[in-house]
Amino acid sequence: MTNSVVIKFCEEDDQITAAYPIMEQLRPHLDEAEFFDKVRKQMQSGYRLVAANITDEVVGVMGYRFVEDLAHGRTLYVDDLVVDENHRSQGIGEALMKVAELEAERRNCETLRLCSGLQREFAHRFYERFDMEKKAYSFVKKLI
């Protein structure tokens, strides 16, 4: 990687808006206003949005939250992780995952979890490099 990655927690409106073009690559069904509203609403329940920047350009985004359940105990759950398609394989995803691990350790989490689409085999190999294991299938039933 030729440029250094700067990690910023997105808390201000302009920071959230700046993350949208990258998040749109992962969540194309959301328009910018809907993305902004959903992020703000989720933040009320503890969702955090993190941007990876190179020279003030957002090139990667991660959204996560802390959950606790009987199966896994206290967990940092990564809801969203995407690196701009023109900046992949440059250590940006790794930098974001390191943030997730540090935040999980800081909050005494027992696990770090995420779901990844079955078709995203490249992403699966990426996660496996972080000693993550495929542990379950996620079942979804569309209601609306």
Q: Is the domain defined by 6-128 classed in CATH 3.30.413.10?
A: no
The pTM assigned to this predicted structure is 0.91
Burial class (CB in 10 A: 0-12, 13-18, 19+), 78: buried
Residues 6+ apart with CB under 8 A from 107: 66, 74, 76
For the chain, the domains span 6-128
Q: pLDDT digits over 87-141, tens only?
A: 999 999 999 999 999 999 999 999 999 998 888 888 889 899 999 999 888 888 9
What pLDDT score does 85 carry?
95
Q: Which residue has the higher pLDDT, 108 or 56?
A: 108
Nearest to 4 by CA among 56, 73, 39, 49: 56
Beta carbons of 9 and 50 less than 8 angstroms apart: yes
